[in-house]
Amino acid sequence: MNKKLTLSRSLLSSAILSISMQANADDQGMVEALSGFNINDASFMQKSGFTTGLWASAGVTGTSNGKTNAPVLFNDKVNSFDLDQLNFYIERAVNTEGDKWDIGGRMDFMYGRDANNTQAAGWDGDWSDAGEYDIAMPQLYVEVFAPIGNGITAKLGHFYTTIGNEVVTSPDNFFYSHAYTMLYAEPFTHTGGLFSYDINDNFSINGGAVMGWDNMTENAGSWSFLGGGSWTSDSEASSVTVQLISGETPTDNTVMDNTTMYSIVATHDFTDNFHYLIQHDFGTHKNIAGNQDRWYGINQYITYDMTDKLSIGLRAEWFNDVDNARVSNTGANYLAASVGLNYSVTSWFKVRPEIRYDWADEDVFNSGNDHDQIAIAMDMIVTF
């Protein structure tokens, strides 16, 4: 999952590639802010119902050991300014409020250092050149709304997981770095079908069949269940979401392993500006011989919006991988704490500085030489 290849670029080209382009209905992107033009306002786009956009994010990380940020992935490379994501998408969102059938879908195409962490076996993983900078197509799906009862929405194809809180897409996370649960405890993408249904304004459920974790066509006959439910309070200040994936995956033509994990995410807004989130993950992997490995953890987030442009956040996590199932060659308990800022310089340009401390009860940092490390990092996201 972590591939290395040095790619030199000039500072100017790095700055150009760090521009993020994403059409947003609420905030002006860079092109619209500077020129007044938005391709999604064009008549042919309005008639078709499609929207398109592109973002990029880039950043730099430094650590106390000066060599690597691993096993914290995505921003594991240190001492260089790198393009993390250049992500193009085109989408037609389905109308889930109407009383008619509707069809839509989405395609995402990513280039950058994050792409090789987001590839699926038997799909974009086959296109990989094993380089530090790579390509991925993390989403390619059709979405259908059926006006049955309160409405059923079906997502069919290749799509991001519903499990957990943090996601791959840079604009949708508070922190630049990622929690261990997102990096190791959960899948990134699925291939299959997922059906969603809103029972009422408070409760919704989903469920479907997918071909395991981060997989497109390999072991195509081995299916997993993916699904769960969520609750939102009447005031929308509180919510709880539970998602689970469980299924068998063949390790060869005859031997079947089982992987099962769930994630619970609860949120509460104490005020309009003060937000809290707690997440618990638990997973198991059991092979045909009956041997079973477990991993689990808890992470919490507190964010406070000081102004409409500036927010501060704290993330604290404990992740247990003593069975050596997920992270490294040495089983360990991991503790991590991050404090960071989100500052929107303009409607289309955001910076995310962060200070992070990691500790483990085994020497897993600095290539197995240290039990802790400090990282100082910052990335930038610009929307077009």
The b/e string for 295-319 (b: 16+ C-beta within 10 A; e otherwise) is bbbbbbbbbebeeeeebebebbbeb
> Looking at residue 69, what is its pLDDT?
96
Q: By percentage, how much of the chain surpasses pLDDT 70?
A: 90
Max Cα–Cα distance, the chain, nearest Å: 64
Name the pLDDT band for 6 (thresholds 50, 70, 90): very low
pLDDT tens-digit readout, 270-292: 999 999 999 999 999 987 667 88
- Written as one letter, the residue type at 224 is S
Contacts of 161 (CB under 8 A, 6+ apart): 186, 187, 188, 189, 190, 226, 245
pLDDT at 12 over 90: no
pLDDT tens-digit readout, 190-249: 999 999 999 999 999 999 999 999 988 877 668 999 999 999 999 999 999 999 999 987
Provide the CB-side half-sphere exposure for 79 (13 A, CA).
7
Question: Which of 6-20, 44-58, 169-183, 361-375 has the lowest average pLDDT?
Answer: 6-20
pLDDT tens-digit readout, 23-61: 333 578 888 888 989 999 999 999 999 999 999 999 999
CATH number of 11-383: 2.40.160.10
- Whether 69 and 78 have beta carbons less than 8 Å apart is answered as yes
Judge if the upstream peptide bond of residue 147 is cis by omega within 30 degrees of 0: no
> Looking at residue 7, what is its pLDDT?
31
> Looking at residue 248, what is its pLDDT?
83
The full 3-state SS of 166-219, as one line of letters, equals: CCCCHHHCCCCCCCHHHHHHCCCEEEEEEEEEECCCCEEEEEEEECCCCECCCC
pLDDT tens-digit readout, 103-155: 999 999 999 999 999 999 888 878 877 678 999 999 999 999 999 999 999 99
> Looking at residue 5, what is its pLDDT?
32
Q: Which two tokens stand for residue 357?
A: 């401390």
Distance CA 20, CA 179 (A): 23
Number of CB atoms found within 10 A of residue 233's CB: 13
